[in-house]
Amino acid sequence: MARKPTAKQQIRKLLDDLEPTVQKAFFDSIDNLRSNIELNRIVEQLERQDLDGALRLLNIDASAYRPLQKATEDVFESGGTQASKKVPKPSDMATATFRFDVRHPTAEQDLRQYSSTLVTRISEDQRQAVRDALADGIAQGRAPRRTALDIVGRLDRITGRREGGILGLSNPQAKYVENMRQRLLSGDKEELKKVLTMERRDKRFDRSILEAIKTGKKLDQATVDRMTGRYADRLLLLRGETIARTETMTAFNKGQMSSMGQAIAEGRLSAAVVMKVWHAFLDERTRFTHRLLNKTRVAFNDKFQTARGRFMAHPGDPEGGVEECACCRCWMEFVIDFLADLD
């Protein structure tokens, strides 16, 4: 007879099922940005050195990220539904079983605040990355069209899709791409050697770099464009994976918190009897601060304190900062301790 999955196994499977949907939604959002590119108009603004005009034409706003918003909203609701199962069934059969209502005013407020903060953070970081890239292009005397293509990507003749470019990358990632470009164009042997240490480069180009180091002949512009384009694509994949893993966990746990808060507000149970338990995956990929928190219990309204001194309401809580949140795989469980109310 097959064993019933443990709570850990159930949660992990649910999160594993939700994560790819969030990742796809992020890439769909980037496709939204790329699909509306008016390249010639952007080039015209760059010829006038009008950075703000070029940036406006890229339409980096919340509407482009609607697929990501929708996906995280679904995860939020899944977290709320999961937590609702922990609310004890009433002994009075006349009282309905508790169900999480994602349209409840407090839940809508929690969701709106989370969703808005997420998209605002991504959009602002993206706009800054593009602004810096535009400014770099002008400062270096790069042709306006080339600068625009370095940002929006170049059309693949087979797929008809734009590839490469920095749309979707974080500001630091966009700078990594620019660093690679400058090193490849420099012709300097030491700078070219540094490219060979860049972890997410496409190693199929290593032979060309080694040949340039050996002969002292500079790489041509088309080859540099292909190299940096593949590097940008790989960083974008990493960005999608990071956002999916991080935001799936954050949205799920925020949904759990909202659901339990709703049950408490309805008088289904007292906040005093609700305990939060931090569960970590004990392997080499888990932060030492989270391994130390494994199985730690705190009251519903209290926060977990990490070894870094960060206070977090739940795993993935943005209050913990990137150091505690990025790609976190920990999860939170509610435990109802009716004896706690007797203290």
Residue 110 and residue 250 in one domain: yes
Ramachandran angles phi, psi of 144, nearest 5°: -55, -40
162-163 and 154-155 beta bridge pairing? antiparallel
* Residues belonging to the chain: 343
Residue 277 and residue 197 in one domain: no
| Reduced 3-state DSSP string for 262-279 | HHHHCCCCCHHHEEEEEE
Give pLDDT tens digits for 252-304.
Answer: 999 999 999 999 999 999 999 999 999 998 888 889 999 999 999 999 999 99
Position 324 in a domain: yes
Contact 30, 3 (CB under 8 A): no
Give pLDDT tens digits for 214-235.
Answer: 999 999 999 999 999 999 999 9
How far is Cα 166 from Cα 174, in angstroms, rounded to an integer?
Answer: 6
Residue 260 and residue 313 in one domain: no
Query: How many Cβ atoms are within 10 Å of 121's Cβ, its own excluded?
Result: 11
- The DSSP annotation for 240-264 comes to HHHHHHHHHHHHHHHHHHHHHHHHH
pLDDT value at 34 more than 70: yes
Residue 284 and residue 164 in one domain: no
Q: Please give the residue range of the domain that contains residue 83.
A: 7-269
Averaged pLDDT for residues 34-60: 93
Residues paired with residue 312 on neighbouring β-strands, in sequence order? 304
How far is Cα 85 from Cα 39, in angstroms, rounded to an integer?
Answer: 51
Tokens of 67: 């697929």
Predicted confidence at residue 91, as pLDDT, reads 67
Residue 63 and residue 189 in one domain: yes
Q: Where are the beta strands (DSSP E) in the chain?
A: 154-155, 162-163, 274-279, 297-299, 304-305, 311-312, 331-336
Give pLDDT tens digits for 164-200.
Answer: 999 999 999 999 999 999 999 999 999 999 999 999 9
Residue 258 and residue 314 in one domain: no
Residue 50 and residue 127 in one domain: yes
Last residue of a domain, one of 221, 250, 269: 269
Cα–Cα–Cα angle for 86, 88, 92, nearest 5°? Answer: 155
Identify the band that residue 4 occupies on the pLDDT scale cut at 50, 70 and 90: confident
3-class state of residue 333 by DSSP: strand
Predicted confidence at residue 244, as pLDDT, reads 95
Predicted confidence at residue 341, as pLDDT, reads 57
Identify the band that residue 88 occupies on the pLDDT scale cut at 50, 70 and 90: confident
3-class state of residue 172 by DSSP: helix
Averaged pLDDT for residues 38-65: 94
pLDDT value at 5 more than 80: no
Percent of the chain with pLDDT over 70: 96
Identify the band that residue 237 occupies on the pLDDT scale cut at 50, 70 and 90: very high
Predicted confidence at residue 1, as pLDDT, reads 53
Residue 237 and residue 125 in one domain: yes
Predicted confidence at residue 106, as pLDDT, reads 93
Q: Is 168 exposed, middle or buried (0-12, 13-18, 19+ CB in 10 A)?
A: buried
